[in-house]
A and B are shown apart, each in its own frame.
Chain A
Amino acid sequence: MSRGKKLSYGMAINEALHQIMEQDERVFVLGEDVAKMGGDFGITKGIWAKWPERIKDTALSESAILGLSCGAAVCGLKPVPEIMFADFLGVGFDQITNNAAKLNYMYQGKAHCGITVRAPQGGGIRCAYHHSACVESWFMNTPGLVIVCPTTPYEAKGMLISAIKSDNPVLFLEHKALYNVKGEVPEEMYEIPLYEAEIEREGSDVTIVATQIMLEKAHKAAAQLEKDGVSCEIIDLRTVFPYDKDAIQKSVAKTGRLVIAQEGVKCGGWAAEISAMINEDVFEYLRGPVKRVTGLDSPMPFSPGLEDYVMPQQDDLVKAIREVMEY
């Protein structure tokens, strides 16, 4: 790969869209304000100028945006719908869970629903409870669906290319608090495989599984605890569902301890799923209880102090890691 240049997370996604659209005429984009304006967060800018027929501004109709995408995908196109905020997926929920996720099964693989639904999620931007949710857990109860949560600009570009090339429906959940974070990104098109987690930091005492903004907090917590002699291994989950069971199990086999850092609410989250899997499958590896560090079971408040309180922070992670280290 070429030497990377510095790109923001948002512009890495933009570059991925431009490159895949250049290469594959089946790819098209639709959504609210995506064409002339280039999207509410500017992620689709420049596409309309190049390919006005391949990017469509729509009415405020999430069901229609997603339903159209499903139908077009079955015909062999590669739709990349944008849902302005992941919270709005609730309006089109049926099209994701009952339609997109089941079409491959329904047609016995004779047609696929290869849609990539892009939607920004997550808190920390002071927008309260209808523009801040992490929605992975709303959807991971749905076999047939792939849920991707990229963290770095490098991941965002490579995983978007893989998602669009996939014949599965992919929910590509971007974190809006990461849009302006810069990182090295190769100029050419490249793929980062779905379903594979990445070990970002090796360690021997405790495994931390995290995604998106919780990863930075995990790294800071690990650096803090290193001074006390605690060695943390950090796994970037990348694909939240179906997740990389092997990578987590191998790490826990080594460390014997697991802390899962999930931004979204605690109840029924993917952290609970991973915790249950470890307890069921490899209980003998564990030296202590699996801990979850998550958002509180509350809607996201608006006022900065309140939002920070509801979201899981570095201190919460440090506390949880210290607790499991007591075993």
Chain B
Amino acid sequence: MLSNERLLKLYRDMVMIRRFEEVIETYAANGTVPGFVHLSIGQEACQAGVVDCLKKTDYKFPDHRGHGAIALCGTDPKLVMAEIFGKATGVNHGRGGSMHVNDLDCGNMGFNGIQGSTMVTCLGTAFNAVYNHTDAVTAVFMGDGTLGEGTCHESMNMSATWKLPIIYCLVNNQYAISTKYTEAHPQQRLKTWGEGYEVPSFYVDGNDIEAVVEAVESAVERARKGEGPTLLEFDTYRWQGHFAGDPAAYRPDEEVQAWKDRDPVKLCRKTMLDRGIAEGDIVKIEEEEEAHVQEMLKFSLESPFPGIETATTYTYADREVETR
């Protein structure tokens, strides 16, 4: 059981990233956010829970549906939002956008837009920790869809053999775009993939923040002790379509409703009330985070777009590419 103080902190995180995503959804729908975005509404408990168990010096690889985790890694979240808006003030100066927000100063290694790629890149950060004898662990987010990629299997095989400090955070949100995970994999529980590689693997209620934190804490402990990787299958659901604007007609309404009834944010709120935490304290958090997100939005909207002068800078470490 988590302390009241920790629950309140995690609740604050979840409220913030819920509102963050709702704002992004609105501004994606009206065309202000360029490109496409993948919203993580409904998956707040696994995002907040994983990040909360890690240190700044640990390596975090978010997935493509990773705004929530990214906004909690330690970067000022308004810089994350501005990046998603493609602004010069964004943490990556508008170079990466929704799918590539990264901030090495807090161990956010960023996502790679190719499913499964971070599954092998994460071997390198974990290898570095072993090579340099640090206690850093690597947490990599993946989806049920990611498991179809061969890189997942190369990664688990290698990390288990070499006992690399990795936590595979398998966010099973039931669908890879439109394909239900049971239509793409033979298993009812995807964690059994990990067991095949002798990676200790656990099923976790991904909408229960306490269950998530407890599972991640024990995986982190194993990794820091040099006992190797762990796979955690977080059973959860994305409320919206695959991308903002996808009507997700491939899902039955009753299924969506059943998962919304198990809203991870509301579940956490209820747990806190049941434990006697004053509702006033909870409402205060909700109001503060609403103001916080509005401030991020104002900053993002008012920030300028980047100038074109440096559009190709950093292609190489030691030379510029030709311009027109």
Contact = CB atoms under 8 A, between A and B. Distances in A.
Interface stretch (A91-99, A199-207, A210-218, A255-263): A91-99
Contact of A77 (B96, B104, B123, B128): B128
Contacts of B113: 98
A106 B131 contact: no
A190 interface: no
A70 interface: yes
A108 B92 contact: yes
Contacts of A107: 102, 104, 110, 314
Contact of A109 (B102, B123, B151, B314): B314
A63 B120 contact: yes
Contact of A59 (B154, B316, B317): B154
A63 B151 contact: yes
Contacts of B110: 106-107
Contact of A71 (B123, B162, B319): B123
Contacts of A125: none
Contacts of B128: 71-72, 75-77
A239 to B, nearest CB: 11
Interface residues of B, number: 41
Nearest to B100: A106
B283 interface: no
A183 interface: no
B124 A75 contact: yes
Nearest to A194: B318
B124 A112 contact: no
A68 interface: yes
Contacts of B96: 106
Given A99-B121, A104-B314, A106-B96, A143 B151 contact: no
Interface residues of A, number: 43
Interface in A22-64: 28, 53, 56, 58-59, 61, 63-64
A141 B155 CA distance: 27
Contacts of B120: 63-64, 66-68, 70-71, 95
A68 B158 contact: yes
B310 to A, nearest CB: 9
Given A28-B131, A59-B161, A99-B112, A74 B314 contact: no
B163 to A, nearest CB: 13
B291 interface: no
B258 interface: no
B157 A74 contact: no
Contacts of B27: none
Interface in B139-189: 150-151, 154-155, 157-158, 161-162
Contacts of A167: 317-318
B321 interface: yes
Given A67-B121, A104-B314, A167-B317, A98 B161 contact: no
Interface string B73-116: 00000000000000000001101100010101000011011100
Contacts of B158: 58-59, 61, 64, 68
A111 B315 CA distance: 12
Interface of A: 28, 53, 56, 58-59, 61, 63-64, 66-77, 79, 94-95, 98-99, 104-112, 114, 143-144, 146, 166-168, 195, 242
6 contacts: A67-B120, A74-B124, A74-B125, A75-B124, A104-B317, A146-B316
Given A106-B92, A143-B321, 9 more contacts: A59-B154, A63-B151, A67-B124, A68-B121, A71-B125, A72-B125, A72-B131, A74-B125, A99-B121
